[in-house]
Amino acid sequence: MDNNKIKKILTSVKSGKVNVAEALKELKHLPYEDIGIAKVDHHRDLRHGIPEVIFAEGKRPEDIKMIAVSMLEKSGKLLITRATEKTYKDVNVICRKRKIKATYYKKSGVIMAGAPKKKDGMIAVLCAGTSDIPVADEAQATAEFLGSKVEAVYDVGVAGLHRIMDAKHILAGANVLIVVAGMEGALPSVIGGMTDKPIIAVPTSVGYGTSLGGLTALFAMLNSC
């Protein structure tokens, strides 16, 4: 539940369209709803500006559906990460009953429903290698769910700097850059020398040898010049 929904309820009470008992029923689950297997935080959007996200990995299908129903009934929107295609099919049935469009990002396993139609600002998501795409795709889906326009550019790692140069117009038009890389993690440092825009550097576990499951990329980004 967000500010707009609460204002709508209060306005409906004031105009007489909704009685106090009905409004109380809508509001009583603030700040959370205990559904047994989870305490769904409907208040988080009010506190943080970002609603609670369902992390699907490790959850039973029936638990995901229960949480999804609770969130859709209160806010009309939903973001699920690390979801399988089977989970998407289950959630899509729930969404269609409520006439809410659900989208599945196959590369990252993100399910998005009820995202805002109006997009503000532009975020560029740059991905060093094809193997890093699942992480970049999750960042893109999340940014779009939160109301940003997103331009994604894949496979522009430092082994071929000419590929980055071809994307300069995207860098120039972005408000923020999300730069995803595994291996040696050098891409955010290179991009940092090409733009004055804020950069969010995201290491991945892609690599071999001394990549140490992504630690090398993480340390490179933390020590970026």
Domains of the chain, by residue range, sit at 31-113, 122-222
Taking CA atoms, 14 is separated from 8, 9, 75, 173, in Å, by: 10, 9, 21, 44
Across residues 145-165, what is the average pLDDT?
A: 91
| pLDDT over 90 (residue 11) | no
CB atoms closer than 10 angstroms to residue 8: 13
Identify the pLDDT of residue 1.
Answer: 55
Q: What is the CATH number of domain 122-222?
A: 3.40.50.1970
Q: How far, in Å, CA of 147 to CA of 70, rounded?
A: 22
Across residues 167-175, what is the average pLDDT?
A: 91
Q: How far, in Å, CA of 38 to CA of 210, rounded?
A: 40
pTM score, two decimals? 0.80
Across residues 37-53, what is the average pLDDT?
A: 82
Under the banding of pLDDT at 50, 70 and 90, the label for residue 148 is very high
Written as six digits, the tokens of 130 are: 């094809």
CB atoms closer than 10 angstroms to residue 98: 13
Identify the pLDDT of residue 134.
Answer: 95
Q: How far, in Å, CA of 146 to CA of 180, rounded?
A: 19
More confident residue, 159 or 6: 159
Q: How far, in Å, CA of 142 to CA of 145, rounded?
A: 5
Q: How far, in Å, CA of 215 to CA of 30, rounded?
A: 40
Under the banding of pLDDT at 50, 70 and 90, the label for residue 3 is low
Min mean pLDDT across 26-40, 75-89, 157-171 is at 26-40
Identify the pLDDT of residue 128.
Answer: 93
Identify the pLDDT of residue 59.
Answer: 94
Under the banding of pLDDT at 50, 70 and 90, the label for residue 2 is low
Identify the pLDDT of residue 116.
Answer: 75
pLDDT digits (tens, 9 = 90+) for 81-96: 999 999 999 999 999 9
Across residues 126-149, what is the average pLDDT?
A: 94
Identify the pLDDT of residue 43.
Answer: 77
Average pLDDT value over all residues in the chain: 89
